[in-house]
Structure 1
């Protein structure tokens, strides 16, 4: 009996144009191939392999759907460590200041490459970064990097093995600020990989490290500030210390100040540059930290007087140095005219604190002292922001939030006293001839 020619043959499964092809390989795996968007606004054929036809088709459909949204296919084939090295040597070196580039390089070589460098850039996932950061929080860096093993014993310098070299871990853990900094460096590098279309998205942005607590600082009180200024009189750098406390200039801005930036007759100073120690050139004059840091400030009368005295002293030093004098126009320099090393200024500052019997603080805390004392005197936040050269007023408000809270408490207490006095006066009869209540000035 022959089959009827009217019976329809089983239909062959087919895919629409552009959906790609799916077939089973000789090794049993399923391969799906199709065209997707590639860097340079071109298209390329990609292949995916899975154990079943359904899985291969789903993966190819996912790639084609992302391509239709304008996301190019991943082209990165190397490791994260190779890309970080390329980014430091070819991109970051032209976009960052030398000091910042040095810190980025240290972060990459000490933490990122040893921890994540072998990972493929295209396959790096948010969970990989999160797991690595969680592990970094609990690892003693002295043991992990062998710091104690490389420490040469020196009794006079106080260098003795105290950790893994003697079998006793010191638990030298990274601070939350350091972890946040490492994470930010990785985000910056991956952001450039996205711009170069090496990867479709920055997976480091999906990892939340939490907001670290801001670094605590101990500004000088009004009495301590007066004691400091009194002790600084007679010091060769008296004008610098007074300028730092009365105007809040940064250390680099003070050391980079030139006489051409000062107008003592108008009592103004133009902040245009900063002096920093670089790895290649030593003390080097660089542009200010940000565009907002380049500013013009008013000088107090006391600073103008001390700067005039300092200029006369510098003229005498120049005459004594003779041919050895280096004329670079700096306001604060060594007796031979060379720039002052930032570390040298820190030593002078600490010696001055010990001589005046004040507690140990950082030189940068003089800047915090300026802002704190101004806030306590009721100066507007926007004025302090312009004086300090902050890029945004939110930076000023965040750093000195504790001072504003104290001023709020003083204002609330004053309002409470006013309301209390008013309630007591209402209970007593009055003939209406008393003058109206006036609010006391809030400091």
Structure 2
């Protein structure tokens, strides 16, 4: 019985002079082009099975390289097709930096199938030497994610990056301000135009982008609540509004210390709007703006924070470190971990417990004092 002719684009099968069967199908490549892929079989049925698999991958848009793609070809394709549509712009920008500066220059010439454990080890050693262990750890994460995508697309059979442990990074010693130092900072910042922003950072631990992404529609001063729905981010030359870090909004009760600064900020902003006239531009109804209603640059908020702290004679910390200090103060006040997690907007309580809490010297002394009293009481009892 004559076999049916395959439809256009489904390839064709014929018998070679050596007795084997051969099929050729045009398939998509990782770089977006289409090339002809050849498969072989000892029987017509075996060859047809391989041909059908190529056709299936083609119809699903799965790349099937005619040769093993180089890392320099696969990584840009992965960034464009996998990372950019699914991840945040900040994540894409970070991954692109590691691909451009470290992965392609050092292992870009390697093909996916020939990349080995030794190659990954040499990569990490080179990145540590060029930058730092933390940078090498992040490059390892990027490579592992890119190779996982290649495995899912059946371009490679194993992810060699998973066989190599990530570099060990020594945690940065962090000493957030004590309660007294936080009060000193807020007193020093009282006359600053961004005073209300610093109060939110110190009392609620809001992220920098969350502070700058606040709109007046998110603030209810009568009910004393604050809704964190978005954040303001800069990636390269673009300043844009984005969802929160974990893509979830949260509603936080406002402490009394925040009410007066926010009322003052609203009055001050209205006065600036009148003074700016037609030059006023505040499309997002942002709480914190420049004199003409433009959003505040994230880096400028950090600069102001560091300048005020230095002027007040306080230990130098980052604006983000105030978030760590807020968590520690909440724990010291007896707030339950789950509540602290919701206030800070963490997706996992382990992050709250392991990263954002720091035991102060006063807390350690108080704990030792309790132990001293317990032991003294026990020793004084008669046997």
Matches within 5 A, 1:113-132: 113-132=104-123
Residues 418 and 193 of structure 1, relative CA distance in 2, 3 Å threshold: same
Q: Which has the larger radius of gyration?
A: 1
Q: Please tell me whether the aligned partners of residues 273 and 286 of structure 1 are also in contact (alpha carbons under 8 angstroms).
A: yes
Is the contact made by 1:76 and 1:198 (CA closer than 8 Å) also made in structure 2?
A: no
**CA distance in structure 1 between the partners assigned to 2:361 and 2:316 by the alignment:** 25
Between 1:205-214 and 1:190-199, the stretch displaced more is 205-214
- TM-score by length of structure 1 reads 0.69
On the 8 A contact 1:191/1:202 being kept in 2, the answer is yes
Q: Describe the SS at the equivalent of 2:359.
A: helix
Task: Quote the residue 2:254 is aligned against.
Answer: 299
User: How many angstroms apart in 1 are the aligned matches of 2:362 and 2:239?
Assistant: 40
360 and 379 in structure 1: CA distance in 2 versus 1, 3 angstrom threshold: same
Alpha carbons of structure 1 residues 400 and 330: separation in structure 2 relative to 1, 3 Å = closer
Distance 1:382 1:319 in 2: 44
Show the counterpart of 2:77: 86
Q: Distance in 2 between matches of 1:270 and 1:372?
A: 22
Distance 1:253 1:133 in 2: 34
Residue equivalent to 1:279: 236
Q: Tell me by how many angstroms 1:354 deviates.
A: 2.5
Quick check: 1:74–1:122 contact (8 Å CA) kept in 2?
Answer: no
Task: State how far apart, in whole Å, the 2-side matches of 1:220 and 1:285 are.
Answer: 30
1:318 aligned onto 2:273: yes
Alignment of 1:31-430 (within 5 A): 41=53, 77-138=68-129, 141=130, 174-280=131-237, 282-292=238-248, 294-328=249-283, 329-400=285-356, 402-403=358-359, 410-411=366-367, 413-426=369-382
CA contact (8 A) 1:74 1:200 kept: no
The C-alpha deviation readout for 1:364-400, integer Å capped at 9, x for no partner, is: 1111111122222332222211111111001111114
How many Å apart are 1:403 and its aligned residue?
Answer: 2.5
Deviations 1:26-56 (A, max 9, x none): xxxxxxx87698697579xxxxxxxxxxxxx
| Cα pair distance change 1:384/1:404, threshold 3 Å | farther
Change (3 A) 1:287 1:408: same
Q: Call closer, same or farther: CA 1:133–1:207 in 2, change over 3 Å.
A: same
| 1:405–1:133 distance in 2 versus 1, CA, 3 Å | farther
Residue pair 2:327, 2:357 contacting (<8 A) in 1 also? no
For residue 31 of structure 2, what is the aligned residue in structure 1? Answer: none
